[in-house]
Amino acid sequence: GIQVEQSPPDLILQEGANSTLRCNFSDSVNNLQWFHQNPWGQLINLFYIPSGTKQNGRLSATTVATERYSLLYISSSQTTDSGVYFCAVRGNQAGTALIFGKGTTLSVSS
């Protein structure tokens, strides 16, 4: 099945810093999503981005499908950005699950 690797596994930042999270995947996908899991365990949709670039406020994401990677950019980080960021992909076969990476744990201190 598809393999999803995220890096770095852990990231510690001071408030105001910028960061880039990476997601590599091993096969063609028809769905790629970025999620933020907050301290209460909820999975928050950030982006649906199987290809191209999107921006939402301080967050943006780029997926280069031909090279099988996606990047999540966080600018001017805030303490509320802390949590775990997951990349999840779905292969091209109908019915296949979203396959999640192991996540990047982000800690932002003031």
Partner 1 sequence: EAQVTQNPRYLITVTGKKLTVTCSQNMNHEYMSWYRQDPGLGLRQIYYSMNVEVTDKGDVPEGYKVSRKEKRNFPLILESPSPNQTSLYFCASSFTGSDTQYFGPGTRLTVL
- Enumerate binding residues for partner 1 (CB under 8 A): 30-31, 33, 35, 41-43, 45, 48, 86, 88, 90, 94-98, 100-103
Pick the closest to residue 72 from 21, 33, 107 (CA basis). 21
Nearer to partner 1, 5 or 62 (CB): 5
Nearer to partner 1, 58 or 102 (CB): 102
Which residues, listed in sequence order, are joined to residue 29 by a DSSP beta bridge? 91
Task: Label residue 67 exposed, middle or buried (CB < 10 Å: 0-12, 13-18, 19+).
Answer: exposed
In the complex, the smallest distance separating the C-beta of residue 75 from partner 1, rounded to whole angstroms, is 23
In the complex, the smallest distance separating the C-beta of residue 15 from partner 1, rounded to whole angstroms, is 27
Nearer to partner 1, 71 or 98 (CB): 98
Nearer to partner 1, 32 or 108 (CB): 32
In the complex, the smallest distance separating the C-beta of residue 64 from partner 1, rounded to whole angstroms, is 19
In the complex, the smallest distance separating the C-beta of residue 81 from partner 1, rounded to whole angstroms, is 19
| Distance, CA of 54 to CA of 43 (rounded, Å) | 19
| Distance, CA of 108 to CA of 76 (rounded, Å) | 10
Examine residue 39 and say whether the peptide bond preceding it is cis (omega within 30 degrees of 0): no
Which amino acid type is present at position 69? Y
